[in-house]
Structure 1
Amino acid sequence: MASGNVAVGMIFLPQTVVGVLGNFSLLLHYLSVHCTGGRLRSTDVIVKHLVIANFLSLLCKGVPQTMAAFGLRYFLNAIGCKLVFYLHRVGRGVSIGTTCLLSVFQVITISPRKPRWAKLKEKAPRHVGFSVLLCWLLCVLVNVIFPISVTAKWNYTNIRGSKDLGYCSRRGHNESTDTPFVILLSFPDVLCLGLMLWASSSMVCILHRHKQRVRHIRRSDLSPRASPETRATQSILFLVSTFVSSYILSCLVQICITLPDNPNSLLVNTAGFINLCFPTLSPFVLMSCDPNVYRLCFAWKR
């Protein structure tokens, strides 16, 4: 085994383990709430599905990527490759969808009490479950076409133009089918990114106006602690910025992989590392907020 592969494996292994443990801590919180008869808030429901999507990404991308880095490159057959890539794409899609839902729901929650927002404030909590279910359904349907081009490594070993993805292979370019394929898969991502950027800018504006209005109150307040709504909004803004930055980097690296017929293994591993950054970091971003102030962010409980 080459020393370079060992180094790559030693990067993927702790990244995957830390991500699984972080998401598992949030999952334990939900189980404890369920067992004690507690009630989950609307934001809790969204975060719960985000945790499940993170698990799919980490198990279907991080685990096989780690195994391939340590030399186990032929452990998946054609069906296994298609299933692993499909579940990873579904998890990735649900991750961006639930993050988008979380940011939009939060901007509705902290929006000013005006008539145009009043109806949304009242209806939004009732439609959270349906929105999350719709997100899963769309990701399951849209990504059905993704495994078509993926198979086991030994199936494409002698085919010209095939791409080595570490533990699986993908067929070469076909402009007549690749263009609509890319557009179909990219449209939901672009739509969610646009909504997240709108929601984030709206939250920043709302918080700024709120800060200006209560400035005279803050001067007489000896406590420097921010309000629960402000802390929760800042946490979501940090979560969204983490996702957007990792997503943009992932897209740039993915373009570098798609253009050449035989992409460099360094680019393939870099793309895998970037793809795993958000599901690894997101639970710790959520837990960074004080759970006693706002139940959106959790920590271990006795």
Structure 2
Amino acid sequence: MDLCVTIKGVSFLVQTGVGILGNAVVLLAYTQIIYAERKLLPVDMILCHLAFANLMLLLTRCIPQTMTVFGMRDLLSDPGCKVVIYAYRIGRALSVCVTCMLSVFQALTVAPAGARLSRLKPALPSLVLPTFAGLWFLNMAICIAAPFFSMAPRNGTVPAFTLNLGFCHVDFRDHLSYVINGVAVSGRDFAFVALMLGSSGYILLLLHRHSHRVRGLRRSHGGAETRAAKTVLTLVVLYVVFFGIDNAIWIYMLTVAKVSPVVADMRVFFSSCYASLSPYFIISSNNKVKAKVVCAAEQEPPSEDTQPSSDK
């Protein structure tokens, strides 16, 4: 196997394994928290949904991509490609939308008393589920075109205006469809990223203005809000960095008729980095999740010497 192909395959394999493990751990930790406490705070509900969206992205994109890199062919039929590509598009869209939602809700949470935004605080728990539903319907509608253009790879050359994903082709047939799809997806992403950056800037401004007051409340609920705000800001910065790389490659792909598989692989790798790395920031910064993970790691099965023996 060519060295370049080996490096690419190992990179995808490590990214996929690390990402699936991290997001699965976050979901299992929140499952235990729900079982113990019977409820979650709005921010915890959003983080749980973010882990689900990232896991969905990794399962539907990185696993078939890794298998293709290692030479496996004919993984999916036409219907299979339509389902997988549609699920991947929704998972990717939810990743950016839920991260934006996390930033906005955290900005509302840390808004000082008396501010207009603070009036929404009591309504936050009741707004989480309707917002989730709205984001799902929005992205299912925007991504609905993807299944119509998705198909299993055909023998021969790749037609113009086709995204060659290796395991599937997304054939837009003409330049107009290609550009319209790209503009719709990019427009949605840039809108949510702009809202994400705006709310994150507001959080930074509040933390700067009230740094002395927050220091005095470190051991109180205000300290918990500050730690949560810093976690959100870290996730936003992480997303924006990989979003920038992803969209720089995407804009290049919109300018050429035939996209090289190497370019498509690079975009997949960088666009999936956030889904792979973000759960570890959640685990390290969220005390509830960290406690569940540490507790599970410390639990050991009883040895044979400590097991009670039965009477014969």
Partner SS, residue 239 of structure 1: helix
Q: Which residue is equivalent to 1:108?
A: 108
Does the CA-based 8 Å contact 1:149-1:171 persist in structure 2? yes
Partner SS state of residue 170, structure 1: strand
Contact 1:43 1:296 in 2 (8 A): no
Alignment coverage as a number of residue pairs: 292
Summarize the Cα distance change of 1:261–1:288 in structure 2 as closer, same or farther, 3 Å threshold.
same
> What's the counterpart of residue 36 of structure 2?
36
Query: 1:86 matched to which residue of 2?
Result: 86
User: Where does 1:15-26 land on structure 2 (aligned, <5 Å)?
Assistant: 15-26=15-26
Q: 1:214 to 1:130 in 2, by over 3 A?
A: closer
CA–CA separation in structure 2 for the residues paired with 1:107 and 1:138:
23
* 1:172 Cα deviation from its structure 2 partner: 5.7
Q: What is the Cα deviation at residue 30 of structure 1?
A: 1.9
Larger radius of gyration: 2
| 1:171-182 correspondence to structure 2 within 5 Å | 171=171, 174-182=174-182
Q: CA deviation at 1:228?
A: 1.9
Aligned partner letter, 1:39 = K
2:265 to 250, 258, 269: 269
Measure, in 2, the Cα distance between the counterparts of 1:208 and 1:37. Answer: 33
Asked if the contact 2:152–2:168 (Cα under 8 Å) also holds between the matched residues in 1, the reply is yes
Partner residue, 2:209: 209
Output the amino acid matched with 2:247: C
The range that moved more, 159-168 or 200-209, is 159-168
The residue type paired with residue 79 of structure 1 is P
Deviation at 1:255, TM superposition (A): 2.3
Distance 2:97 2:158 in 1: 36
- 1:167 matched residue in structure 2: 167
Secondary structure of the residue that 1:178 maps to in structure 2?
A: helix
Change (3 A) 1:77 1:298: farther
Matched, 1:285 2:302: no
Partner of 1:244: 240
Contact 1:232 1:296 in 2 (8 A): no
Partner Cα separation in structure 2 for residue 65 and residue 184 of structure 1: 24
> Compared with structure 1, are the counterparts of its residues 9 and 119 closer, same or farther at alpha carbon in structure 2 (3 Å cutoff)?
same
Residue 46 (str. 1) matches residue 46 (str. 2): yes
Question: CA-to-partner distance for each residue in 1:135-182, whole Å, 9 max, x for gaps?
Answer: 112111211112222211116x34642443222223266233333333
Secondary structure of the structure 2 residue equivalent to 1:153:
coil
Secondary structure, counterpart of 2:154 in structure 1: helix
TM-score (norm 1): 0.88
Is 1:256 equivalent to 2:252 in the alignment?
yes
Question: Is the contact made by 1:287 and 1:299 (CA closer than 8 Å) also made in structure 2?
Answer: no
Which segment is superposed worse, 195-204 or 24-33?
24-33
Shift of 1:67: 0.3
Provide the aligned C-alpha RMSD in A.
2.3
Structure 2 distance, partners of 1:57, 1:230, is 30
Residue by residue over 1:208-244, the C-alpha shift from the partner in whole angstroms, topping out at 9 and shown as x without a partner, is 00115567x69xx9x9xx9222211111100011111
**Mind listing any 5+ residue stretches in structure 2 that lack a counterpart?**
297-312
Extract structure 1 runs of 4+ deviating beyond 6 A.
none
User: Distance between the aligned counterparts of 2:95 and 2:206, measured in 1?
Assistant: 25
CA distance in 2, matches of 1:254, 1:297: 36
Aligned counterparts of 2:49 and 2:63: Cα–Cα separation in 1: 20
**Match of residue 197 from structure 1:** 197
Q: Out of 235-244 and 33-42, give the one that drifted further.
A: 33-42
Inter-CA distance 29–264: structure 2 relative to 1 (3 Å threshold) = same
CA contact (8 A) 1:103 1:196 kept: yes
Bigger mean CA offset, 259-268 vs 84-93: 259-268
| Structure 2 CA distance for aligned equivalents of residues 214 and 278 of structure 1 | 30
Match of residue 230 from structure 1: 226
Structure 1 unaligned segments of length 5 or more: list them: none
Distance 1:169 1:9 in 2: 20
Check 1:210–1:37 CA distance in 2 against 1; reply closer, same or farther (3 A cut): closer
Q: Does 1:121 align with 2:121?
A: yes
How far apart are the structure 2 equivalents of 1:72 and 1:85?
18
Q: Percent identity?
A: 31
